[in-house]
Amino acid sequence: MLLFARGNLDLLEKPSLGFCGSRKASEKGLKAAWDIADQMARRGVNIVSGYASGVDMTTHKTALETGGSTTIVLAEGILNFKIKKVIKELFDESRILVLRVMY
């Protein structure tokens, strides 16, 4: 197994909470994801999720807006990683870790 990383490796040591949800989540689902990510990020919990639209991006954006940290787990190669517009202005490598696991 290989682990490719970009960003703050110290986030691997923080208490973390993972999110997994739909790209086409309902407004109620997105609100619930936002609320939980907001509360946990304010308590210093690192938010972990994929990099798809919907729940994933909602939780990353919420963590960053709250001043918290987030870990992005990629499905594709890390060399192809591009910062999405929705978090571009919030992107701060001291509060973000991007990971890709290869088996």
Residue 54 has pLDDT above 90, yes or no: yes
Q: Determine whether domain 2-102 maps to CATH 2.40.160.20.
A: no
For 6-32, what is the mean pLDDT?
95
Label residues 36-73 b or e (16+ Cβ within 10 Å = b). bbbebbeeebbbbbbbeebbbbbbbbbbbebebbbbbb
| 15 vs 75, higher pLDDT | 15
Q: Say what the pTM is.
A: 0.93
The 10s digit of each residue's pLDDT in 72-97 is 999 988 888 999 999 999 999 999 99
**Residue 32: predicted pLDDT:** 96
Residue 17 has pLDDT above 90, yes or no: yes
Residue 98 sits at the vertex; the CA angle it makes with 8 and 96, to the nearest 5 degrees, is 45
Domain boundaries, the chain: 2-102
**Residue 39: predicted pLDDT:** 98
Cα 65 from Cα 6, distance rounded (Å): 20
